[in-house]
Chains A and B, each alone.
Chain A
Amino acid sequence: MPTAFVLVLLGITVALIAVIVARPEITAGKAGKILAFLALFIFPVFGGVLGAQNHIQRSEETSFCLSCHIMGDYGKSLMVDDPRYIPAAHYQNGRVPRDEACYTCHTDYTLYSGFAKAKLRGLHHVWVQYFGKPEHPIKLYSPYNNRECLHCHLGSRSFEEGAIHTADPQTMADIKSNKLSCVSSGCHDMVHNVSQLDHVKYWKPAQ
């Protein structure tokens, strides 16, 4: 739902409630009661749900992830001019949508992995960001799951017929069952590599 639509709906709700606050006596009649029910219950609940949905949708955007100071280097790593950098190669070549680059490869991160535990992690991140001392480098809560790669690569020719992937029948089975990690098995292990960002060249997209 577009943000503008949610804002208009919330604005109309505020205006309707303002009328009731200014003249509560209008709720004495049947029409007034219906208006009060719509303005004080239905619209705020509906607007609140749409607003929450809008926030969750926005939190999937790359710009949202990079709005935390600690994520700056990870955003910078997307512009490294080196095809061995897996996130950079995906970002620069449009293999992931640029405006949702982080979320596309980290679909199980905090908010999206579960309910209570995920929300607590999200709150913990906010706490650490403003009142604590974040760890450097930051670490994933659990090892990177091949599922995130296979979501797109499964069935693709370069993956299914790749020489190393098919060299041994067990290799493919282990990759697909997440026993052999795509990113930490000596294969595609150049990921964000933020400690080396001072020693790399950067891609400058043509304007």
Chain B
Amino acid sequence: MKQTEFISKKLRTAGILIIAGLVVEILSLVWNHPLSFVAFIGIGGLLLAAGILLYLWALVSPGSRSGEGGAKSSGG
């Protein structure tokens, strides 16, 4: 239960960060302005990278691994 909560929380946060990054990227693509590329990379890219890294971290972090290991050992 604890592991599910851990993953869910991380997925939610990662998802929100990625959505924010994608929204910034969408807005920058429809904004014809010299700053649009800076916004795309500087804000959208950073939010996207943070969200993706958080998601990848959630996949390999000890919290998710211990749960997975526990599930395997209990299954075996």
A52 to B49, CA, bound (A): 14
B37 contacts A10, C-beta separation under 8 Å: no
Distance in Å: Cβ of B19 to nearest Cβ of chain A: 5
A24 to B52, CA, bound (A): 16
B29 contacts A59, C-beta separation under 8 Å: no
A3's nearest neighbour on chain B, judged by CB, is B29
The interface residues of chain B, by DSSP majority, are classed as helix
Q: With a CB–CB cut-off of 8 A, which chain B residues contact A20?
A: 11, 15
The interface residues of chain A, by DSSP majority, are classed as helix
Q: Give the residues from 6 to 52 in chain A that come closer than 8 angstroms, CB to CB, to chain B.
A: 6-7, 10-11, 13-14, 17-18, 20-21, 24-25, 27-28, 36, 39-41, 44-45, 47-48, 51-52
A67 to B35, CA, bound (A): 10
B34 contacts A44, C-beta separation under 8 Å: no
Which listed residue, B7, B11, B19, B33, touches A67 by the CB 8 Å rule?
B33
B7 contacts A24, C-beta separation under 8 Å: yes
A52 contacts B40, C-beta separation under 8 Å: yes
A18 contacts B19, C-beta separation under 8 Å: yes
Which listed residue, A45, A51, A129, touches B29 by the CB 8 Å rule?
A51
A129 contacts B34, C-beta separation under 8 Å: yes
B32 contacts A126, C-beta separation under 8 Å: no
Knowing A13-B22, A17-B15, A24-B8 are in contact, say whether A63-B32 is a contact too (CB < 8 A).
yes
Q: A7-B26, A10-B22, A40-B51 are in contact. List 11 more A-B contacts (CB 8 A).
A: A3-B29, A10-B26, A17-B19, A18-B15, A40-B18, A44-B21, A47-B22, A51-B40, A55-B28, A59-B37, A129-B34
| Interfacial residues, chain B to chain A (CB-CB below 8 A) | 4, 7-8, 11-12, 14-16, 18-19, 21-23, 25-26, 28-30, 32-38, 40-41, 44-45, 48, 51-52, 55-56
| Interfacial residues, chain A to chain B (CB-CB below 8 A) | 3, 6-7, 10-11, 13-14, 17-18, 20-21, 24-25, 27-28, 36, 39-41, 44-45, 47-48, 51-52, 54-55, 58-59, 63-64, 67-68, 123, 126, 129-130
